[in-house]
């Protein structure tokens, strides 16, 4: 199996030539689209958001913010994008009371299961929701400046 990153025109042309060669030789090319995984920048940004939120909410620790964000924003994103996650969550976690669901977030992979686009949606949702509550959230590069 060969993997192609089609992010440039040159590579796209080589890929198309490769597919043409395979077809001419009687082989059937099969293409699989693989979602981009999260970036280290996204991981850092998610954690930085938890820290900023906790620092602006006097009675909240980072672990509490992390749990709440995973449950309130991350779970709905994963449920919408993964039938398997939705099935497992609905059977095992959904019937539980809210406090227990929050504690379960320490054990249930949510943000770590997200692809790059899902992590972007998660970050945008967290920023939007907490900004509407009056919190000032900055990108880590802005905090350092």
What is the full per-residue pLDDT of the chain (145 aa) written as tens digits? 777 778 788 888 888 888 898 889 998 888 877 666 666 688 889 999 999 999 999 899 999 999 999 999 999 999 999 999 999 999 999 999 999 999 999 999 999 999 999 999 999 999 999 999 999 987 666 655 4
Collect all residues with Cβ–Cβ distance below 8 Å to 37 and sequence separation of at least 6.
Answer: 115, 116
How many domains are contained in the chain? Answer: 2
What distance in Å separates the CA atoms of residue 104 and residue 27, rounded to the nearest whole number? Answer: 49
Cβ–Cβ under 8 Å, residues 113 and 78: yes
The residue segments making up the domain with residue 16 are: 1-34
Asked whether residue 69 falls in the same domain as residue 28, the answer is no
∠ CA 51-105-95 to the nearest 5 degrees?
140
Asked whether residue 101 falls in the same domain as residue 135, the answer is yes
Asked whether residue 44 falls in the same domain as residue 30, the answer is no
What distance in Å separates the CA atoms of residue 62 and residue 54, rounded to the nearest whole number? Answer: 5
Collect all residues with Cβ–Cβ distance below 8 Å to 14 and sequence separation of at least 6.
Answer: 4
Q: Please, where are the H alpha helices in 2-139?
A: 9-24, 40-56, 62-69, 75-81, 83-92, 98-104, 116-132
Asked whether residue 30 falls in the same domain as residue 94, the answer is no
DSSP 8-state symbol, 37: B
Asked whether residue 63 falls in the same domain as residue 15, the answer is no
Asked whether residue 28 falls in the same domain as residue 47, the answer is no
Asked whether residue 49 falls in the same domain as residue 30, the answer is no
Cβ–Cβ under 8 Å, residues 35 and 71: no
């Amino acid at each position: 199996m060969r993997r192609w990153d089609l992010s440039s025109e040159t590579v796209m042309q080589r890929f198309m030539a490769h597919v043409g060669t395979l077809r001419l030789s009687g082989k059937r090319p099969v293409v699989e689209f693989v979602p981009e995984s999260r970036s280290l920048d996204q991981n850092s940004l998610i954690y930085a958001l938890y820290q900023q939120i906790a620092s602006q909410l006097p009675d909240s620790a980072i672990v509490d913010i992390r749990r709440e964000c995973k449950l309130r924003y991350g779970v709905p994103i994963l449920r919408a994008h993964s039938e398997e996650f939705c099935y497992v969550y609905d059977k095992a976690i959904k019937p539980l009371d809210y406090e227990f669901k929050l504690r379960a977030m320490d054990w249930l992979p949510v943000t770590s299961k997200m692809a790059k686009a899902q992590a972007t949606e998660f970050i945008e949702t967290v920023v939007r929701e907490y900004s509407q509550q009056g919190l000032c959230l900055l990108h880590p590069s802005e905090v350092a400046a």
